[in-house]
Amino acid sequence: MAKTISIIGASGSVGSTLAAQILRSKLLGRGDRLQLVAHGVSSSSSKLLATRIDLMDAFDDDSVDIELVANIQDTEGDIVVMCAGAGLGGNLKDRRDLGKFNLPVFEEIAKLCAEVVPSSTFIIVSNPVELAVEIFAEKLGRERVIGMGAEQDSLRFARAIAHDLGLSRHEVFASVLGEHGQAMVPLWSSVKVETNDPTIVNSLAALIERSKEVPLAQRAAKLKSVVFELLQGEQIEEAYEVTRRALPDARIFAQPLITGHAIHSTPNATANATLRFLSATLGTDARPLHGQVVLVGELASIRGVCGVPLTVKRDGWELGTLSISSEEQLSQIRLSAASIANYLMAVRC
């Protein structure tokens, strides 16, 4: 059966990079459609007209129908990727700062989607991911609304560990749960390396031991403050160097801020993580994922939005396996969920 993927916010950095990655990955074939959705504003439609031709010049051999959709009301995707809204930059330094700008955008787009594509699966990229997930889940049901931020964070954590151990990321699995932002919870107990090499196993154990010397919140806050100071002087190289010297769990709090500062977004990494959800939804990839979803008590009695391990299929998400080694880590996830809930209440009142 022919498939349609719609990208809302396709003219942005993430949306346009994702469109190219979808076509390059051959997830879609002859007769399938990729909809580039504008929002009824001529500037976004004009950019997408040009983007469409550029994508056709690159990928027309596969005969995917690349369609420009001028208004969100004409979205038809079986899977809809939500990438619309303001991103970080200027005085907006934390993803939570975006809430007040993106709240009306999320409400409007979720309302329109509920009218035209009520049964589709929604992959949420826009920040704050938790806010968009809550709003979309209210309008469309929680079963098929998934934020991809936790997968992005987990891939970053795995890469940071792989880097320090001299491995490649495909040899490391790691989970980051909770918020896609200041209350994220990198779980050392989830880390698995695909090797029995004692040197590497011992190096990982040493990293874990070092991570216990100073609480993560303290290390991450200090690192971010040093990074912000360096960014004020546009010292990008020095800022990356400082993060490289930090432990992987703190590094992932700060490195995306540098990338966001320098190139406004994190388009390739975000598109890559989003592609995993598209592959899972289309049934071509069964790897475990991590994502922000609305829970109703399935995990640690949490009710509300939280990043958790997931398996994703065409008809939505299911809770995946949680590798938790202690009650302390479970309580960190509960605290993160509580922090998300407080933030959502404040931004929506």
Q: Which residues are annotated as a binding site for NAD(+)?
A: 9-15, 102, 125-127
User: Segment near ligand NAD (CB under 6 A), from 53-61, 125-133, 160-168, 242-250?
Assistant: 125-133
Among 3, 5, 6, 15, binds ligand NAD (CB under 6 A): 15
Per-residue contact string for residues 242-261; x = within reach of ligand NAD by CB under 6 A: --------------------
8-state DSSP, 95: G
Neighbours of 43 (CB within 10 A): 10
Cα–Cα distance measured from residue 158 to residue 290, given in angstroms and rounded to the nearest whole number? 13
Neighbours of 45 (CB within 10 A): 18
Cα–Cα distance measured from residue 289 to residue 311, given in angstroms and rounded to the nearest whole number? 6
Rounded to a whole number of angstroms, the minimum distance from the CB of residue 139 to ligand NAD is 15
User: Segment near ligand NAD (CB under 6 A), from 9-17, 235-243, 296-304, 327-335?
Assistant: 9-17
Locus of tokens 């007769």: 31
Among 5, 14, 252, 295, binds ligand NAD (CB under 6 A): 14
Q: Check if 180 is active-site.
A: yes
Which residue, 84 or 204, has its beta carbon nearer to ligand NAD? Answer: 84
Closest among 201, 183, 184 to 192, alpha carbons compared: 201
Q: How far is CA 310 from CA 84, 129, 224, 290, 316, in A?
A: 24, 16, 29, 5, 10
Cα–Cα distance measured from residue 126 to residue 255, given in angstroms and rounded to the nearest whole number? 19
Rounded to a whole number of angstroms, the minimum distance from the CB of residue 70 to ligand NAD is 12
Q: What residues have CB less than 8 Å from 231, skipping those under 6 apart?
A: 239, 257, 258, 261
Q: Taking CB under 6 A as the rule, does residue 182 contact ligand NAD? A: no
Q: What residues have CB less than 8 Å from 300, skipping those under 6 apart?
A: 330, 333, 334, 337
**CB neighbour class for 118 (10 Å; exposed up to 12, middle 13-18, buried from 19):** exposed
Q: Which one is catalytic: 39, 163, 180, 264?
A: 180
Which residue, 15 or 309, has its beta carbon nearer to ligand NAD? Answer: 15
- Cis geometry, peptide bond prior to residue 256 (ω within 30 degrees of 0): no
Q: Taking CB under 6 A as the rule, does residue 105 contact ligand NAD? A: yes
User: Segment near ligand NAD (CB under 6 A), from 10-18, 160-168, 169-177, 215-223?
Assistant: 10-18
Do 62 and 26 touch, CB atoms closer than 8 A?
yes
Which residue, 112 or 207, has its beta carbon nearer to ligand NAD? Answer: 112
Q: Taking CB under 6 A as the rule, does residue 77 contact ligand NAD? A: no
Q: Taking CB under 6 A as the rule, does residue 13 contact ligand NAD? A: yes
Q: Taking CB under 6 A as the rule, does residue 290 contact ligand NAD? A: no
Per-residue contact string for residues 41-60; x = within reach of ligand NAD by CB under 6 A: ---x----------------
Binding site for ligand NAD (CB under 6 A): 9, 11-15, 39, 44, 83-88, 98, 105, 125-127, 129, 148-149, 152, 180, 265-266, 270
